[in-house]
Structures are given as structure tokens and as C-alpha cells.
Structure 1
Amino acid sequence: MNKDPYNLVVAGVGGQGNVLGSQLIGTVLVNQGYKVTIGETYGASQRGGSVMSHVRISAKRQYGPLIPPRFADLVIALEPSEAARVLARYGNRNTVAIVNTRPVYSIDVTGGAVHYPETNGLMEKIRSLTSKAYFLDATDRALQMGNPILANIIMIGAVSAAGILPITESNLEKAISEVLSSEKVSVNLKAFAVGKELIASQISRDC
């Protein structure tokens, strides 16, 4: 991390596990001596509404829980339209985004009251709001593993492989044992490895 504080937004919709993802990231970093503050906001409904976690990381002191507009360094988005929405408010020309490509359609969209953005246009918008955007089919791979909630761990694996945050298999294993249970370690570490694999080809193209 080349900034202090380092500002991370984890965004998605209710039921995707992004709050758990932010807690695991926070635990990994606290265990390494960082001071971490997490603030969460929820949409209108617990499942299906917007959910966003602000994670502020510092080696020096505890910061307030809310990231100012335009000050996100990294956005991890479990849903692409949420990525665009969050980046429009918190992104800047140096922001990096890691985005799960699987849309989640709200009741308004499925009922025809609201139009969901076209995929290519949405991805272009995300690219225009960042210095670098990575797109991963995390939900599809999580479903292949038998549990869509593992998409959040797949995304954490991608963050690790990109070298953005100091997250390793060993320190994530410790955090999973603390936040969840030791029984959850094996499957989550497999998801972590999948995330590292998914982003590897995109990282190699940047080199």
C-alpha cells in the first residue's frame, strides 16, 4: 500500500457476502499490525439492496469510518452496476477496481420498471472511472464450487494476486478461523486460489 490511509470500498447487494469479505480483509490487516476502521451502509432491503463497506487502513492511526467522495484507492465490487455507482462517487483517476461480472437484477429490473445497463457499456463506464479495472466471473466460479457466497473469497484472492493488499494464504487462513471457524478454512482457501488464478492472465497482460 502506497498511501496512508489506504481507502477500500467493498460493494455489492444484500446476500452476496461483501460485509463478511470486508471483515476478513480487516482481520488480516489488523493481525499484521495495521489500524483498520470499517463502516457499513445498507440499502432499502437486507437482501437485494445495496450494501457497501468502507475499509480505512493505516499504519499510523485510526481514521473515521467514512471515506470522503473521490478518495477510494480500491473498489472491490461483487456486482457490476454497484461498481459503477460507487466509482461515480468515490473513484478518482488513481482508483483500481476489481469487479465481479455477474449482474444481480433487482425487483424493479425483473418487473420491467427499470432498465439494467448494457454489459459492454457498463464495463466501459467502469474503466473510465478508474486507472485500472479487472473483471472476473467470480460468481460463476463460486457456483462451480457449490456455493455462490464464495465469490467474495475469490475476489480477495484476486486482490492478493494483484499485489494490492498484503493478503497471503496463511494470514487469510488465520482470519477465517477467527471470523468463521476452522471447518470453513479448506473451502475458502480453495476459493482464494481460484481468485488468484482468475486474475493472473489479466495481470500478465499488464506486464
Structure 2
Amino acid sequence: MNIMIVGVGGQGTLLASRIIGNVVVDAGYDVKLSEVHGMSQRGGSVVTYVKYSDKVYSPIVDKGEADIILAFEMLEAYRALPYLKIGGHIISNTQEINPMPVITGAMEYPKDIDKKLAKVANTTFVDAKSLAKEAGNIKAVNVVLLGVMAKKMDISYDKWIEAIKTTVPAKLLDVNLKAFELGYNSK
């Protein structure tokens, strides 16, 4: 299974990859993670790869190999589309975060990304920011999206909860558990 996690700096892609890594190791798989930080400190693109199977040799997901693209922002989902394999699935937050060229007025944010993605790929869109806010912290968007993705994977709900408990800092645990539950029970 090849998972590509995409977002912008500060959205928690690295924490999400660690949670996935912990849950699949607990489920008995070999796992490899690879983090491509980019300009994360300035709100730039961040990409994380998670690969798991009986035996994994490389942590990199090449174009056309991602079973799942987990996108924390719409434009990042669109940018990652070439990595999705035929029959793969995109799970995307509906949030739009303007990149620097849009902020400076050099470009416009692309219109109708959701419609463009839905035309060419299996897609699930979720207002993860609203669900994270309902959970108590808008920074829990990442864990909301993990909840949505968990329904599409053959790993038990209890294993996901245990992975969150062992990965998320104690002071943020209750919010993240609620965020996961809200994502898992959405749509």
C-alpha cells in the first residue's frame, strides 16, 4: 500500500505519517516513511510517503503508484494527482490555503479543483477544518483526515485509536481522539 500525504507547512503531515506508521507496524506490516519538507517553515508544500507491505524496500512513491493521496489542502491534492495510480483514491480537505504567488497577486488560486479531481479520480472531500474545530482545535485537521482514510483501510478502529494514543502528545490526546472519531464517522 502506497500512501502520499500532501499539505502545507504546519498542517501536521509528519504527525499523520507517524500515526499511520505506528498503526501499520502494530498490524504486522513492514513500513517505510519518507518526508520531503520543501519550504514547510514558510507554508510551502510538504509531502510525506508511507509505504507498507509484507516487505518494503524503498520509501519513495513514484508517479502512478499512490493507492491513496491524503491531501490537507485542495491545491496540494491537485498537484499530487500524477502520483495517483489507476483505481487509487484521493481524500482531500476542502480547505484552500493561498500559496505565495496567489498572496502576492502573481497568480490566481485555480477554480473548481474539486470538480476537476472528481472527473479523473475516486475522491472523497471533507470539510476537515470544521470537524477539527468541532473536536476542539482546528489544528486537528490531520487526524480528522486520518479518520476518513481509516474507513478505507483493512486495519481495525481499535488499532488506530491505540496508534493515536502512543503518538500524539498527552496534552492534545483528547482533541485528537475526538477529531479521529468525527472523521471516521463522517460521510
**Matched length:** 187
| 1:174 paired residue among 162, 168, 184 | 162
Q: TM-score, normalising length from structure 2? A: 0.92
1:41 is matched with 36
Deviations 1:13-58 (A, max 9, x none): 0010011111101101101111110111122342410001111010
Structure-2 separation of matches of 1:91 and 1:125 = 14
Structure-2 separation of matches of 1:152 and 1:183 = 17
Q: CA deviation at 1:167?
A: 4.5
Structure-1 separation of matches of 2:104 and 2:134 = 28
1:148 is matched with 138
In structure 2, stretches of 5+ residues that fail to align are none
1:134 has 2:127 as partner: no
Do the aligned residues in 2 keep the contact of 1:77 with 1:97 (CA within 8 Å)?
A: yes
Alignment CA distance shift 1:93-1:142 (3 Å): same
Structure number with the higher strand fraction is: 2
Do the aligned residues in 1 keep the contact of 2:10 with 2:40 (CA within 8 Å)?
A: no
Q: CA deviation at 1:197?
A: 2.3
> Identity percentage over the alignment?
34
1:114 is matched with 107
Do the aligned residues in 2 keep the contact of 1:78 with 1:100 (CA within 8 Å)?
A: yes
Alignment CA distance shift 1:24-1:45 (3 Å): closer
1:83 has 2:71 as partner: no
| 1:187 paired residue among 157, 160, 175 | 175
Structure-1 separation of matches of 2:37 and 2:120 = 23
What SS is found at the alignment partner of 1:94? strand
What SS is found at the alignment partner of 1:51? strand
Do the aligned residues in 2 keep the contact of 1:28 with 1:167 (CA within 8 Å)?
A: no
Structure-1 separation of matches of 2:171 and 2:39 = 33
Structure-1 separation of matches of 2:168 and 2:72 = 20
2:66 is matched with 72
| 1:102 paired residue among 95, 99, 114 | 95
Q: CA deviation at 1:183?
A: 4.3
Deviations 1:68-99 (A, max 9, x none): 21111111100011001001x20132110110
Structure-1 separation of matches of 2:90 and 2:70 = 6
Give RMSD over aligned pairs.
1.6
Q: TM-score, normalising length from structure 1? A: 0.84
Deviations 1:150-190 (A, max 9, x none): 111111111122x334151x222322232233443322111
Do the aligned residues in 2 keep the contact of 1:91 with 1:129 (CA within 8 Å)?
A: no
